[in-house]
Chains A and B, each alone.
Chain A
Amino acid sequence: MESKWRKIWGLIGLLLLNFVNNVSSLSLTITKVDCVYEIVRSEGDIVSGNFVVVDHHIFWSSDHPGIDFSITSPGGGILHNLKGTSGDKFSFKAPRSGLYQFCFHNPLSTPETIAFYIHIGHIPNEHNLAKNEHLDPIIVKIAELREALEAVTTEQKYLKARDAVHRRTNESTKTRVIGYTVGEYILLTIASVLQVVYIRRLFSKSVGYNRI
């Protein structure tokens, strides 16, 4: 498995462009464990991202144990490990190139939907070029500008996912308020009607005053 991925990565690495601009923003429904893999092309790239648990099906209690999240580098070392979160941001400098693994682990059996966004930013520097090539400083500046804009975009995706979570909570509150209140009124009316009917029945056998 490892050599196959290394070979694939090697092939892709041959077709490198100067700027690598990476966006993938998706939602995944996980039941137990699920992993997303990304290829980091050169060492020193900044990997940043965030994830938010979108679909909390909570009925009674408002504390859910949360999702465990871990990032594994291609060498097998664990770079980041979070337990019991409902969403977080992360950012690190890739120590080496290769396939990185972003794993979500769900301790409960109810499926959870997680919206995640991973961005790999690369700023070209002198190391990647041949000896007689020059790196135009404006290209580096533009790459830095682009990375700054991508940071803003990453933050916006996070805010968007959080907004979706809050919206779900709000809508659920709205339906609960209406549903439970109308149910309460109906139950109240039924209870009082039943009370009256019962008392009538108690007194309806015309046996006399001293019956009860």
Chain B
Amino acid sequence: MIKDSNVPMAMTFPPFLVVLLLALSTGPLCDAIWLNIPKTGTKCVSEEIHSNVVVLSDYVVVSVEDGQTATITVKVTSPYGNNLHHRENVTYGRFAFTTEEAGNYLACFWSDNRTRGSGEVVVNIDWKTGIAAKDWESVARKEKLQGVELELRKLEGAVEAIHENLLYLKSREAERRSTSETTNARVAWFSIMSLGICIVVSGLQVWYLKRFFQKKKLI
């Protein structure tokens, strides 16, 4: 048990959280964002990811009230609605998957109403995709790299990721340009067609009414 003299007894850290924080921070990337989960309702974070990307995420509930940590429910869904990870009444967890479809991946958090306090639950979410989720420890062990070599290898990975991103942006821009051009052509075509339809319909009207009046012998 870690005790800090400045903090009242009620807020000492449970040992598993210490172990978890240790585990999290010795990983390749050790910082994360904290989010407030409201007492009622859900808080969702999402990211648009393309296919074949590794996603790795850890979440820990940080707020401690009355000596016990609040619990949350987590649900992660793929863009087609498949449930990738679903846990209830947990204080920490981790999920990892490789994306199969390109689209919006959603991770939603609910606070369990059992917490007696009135405050919101604070969750620490560490969300890593692609190159950030790469396990450098195993690469270092496999290829026996250390020190400067390992750092340079990480830099090489980062450069590759940048290159990939650039190609992706380029392809999206090309797609967008073709959509713009077809929309442009369509606007021109449809306006001319609408003029044509106007003329045809009024011609039909005039012809029909003329025939009608001739039948009624009014003309």
Contacts and interface: CB of A to CB of B under 8 A. Distances in A.
A128 interface: no
B213 interface: yes
B132 interface: yes
Interface of B: 2, 4, 6-7, 11, 13, 18, 21-22, 25-26, 28-36, 44-48, 62-64, 104, 119, 122, 125-129, 132, 148, 151-152, 154-155, 158-159, 161-162, 165-166, 168-169, 172-173, 175-176, 179-180, 182-183, 186-187, 190, 193-194, 197-198, 201-202, 204-205, 208-209, 212-213, 216, 218
Interface of A: 1, 3-4, 7-8, 10-12, 15-17, 19-29, 34-39, 41, 99, 113, 115, 118, 120, 138-139, 142, 145-146, 149-150, 152-153, 156, 159-160, 163-164, 166-167, 170-171, 173-174, 177-178, 181, 184-185, 188-189, 192, 195-196, 199-200, 203, 206, 209
Nearest 9 CB-CB pairings of A with B: A37-B34, A22-B31, A181-B190, A15-B25, A192-B201, A26-B45, A156-B165, A149-B158, A27-B46
Question: By CB atoms of chain B within 10 A, which of A3, A113, A177 has the most?
Answer: A177
A163 B173 contact: yes
A210 B172 CA distance: 69
A187 to B, nearest CB: 11
Contacts of A1: 119
Contact of A138 (B6, B7, B122, B148): B148
A172 B6 CA distance: 57
Given A199-B209, A203-B213, A26 B47 contact: yes
A4 B62 CA distance: 9
Contacts of B148: 138-139, 142
B179 A170 contact: yes
A28 B45 contact: yes
Given A25-B129, A28-B44, 20 more contacts: A4-B11, A7-B13, A11-B2, A11-B18, A15-B22, A15-B30, A16-B25, A20-B30, A21-B29, A26-B45, A26-B47, A27-B104, A38-B33, A99-B34, A115-B48, A145-B155, A156-B169, A177-B183, A177-B190, A200-B212
Give the dominant DSSP class at B's interface: helix
Nearest to A143: B151
Contacts of A139: 148, 151
A34 B213 CA distance: 70
Contact of B176 (A20, A115, A166): A166
Nearest to B22: A15
Contacts of B122: 37
Nearest to A184: B194
A181 B185 CA distance: 14
B166 A156 contact: yes
Contacts of A20: 30-31
Contacts of A146: 151, 154-155, 158
Nearest to A164: B48
A199 B216 CA distance: 13
A149 B159 contact: yes
A22 B190 contact: no
B75 to A, nearest CB: 15
Contacts of A10: 4
Nearest to A113: B46
Contacts of A195: 205
Nearest to A206: B216
5 contacts: A15-B30, A22-B31, A37-B122, A115-B47, A174-B179
B96 to A, nearest CB: 16
B162 A170 contact: no
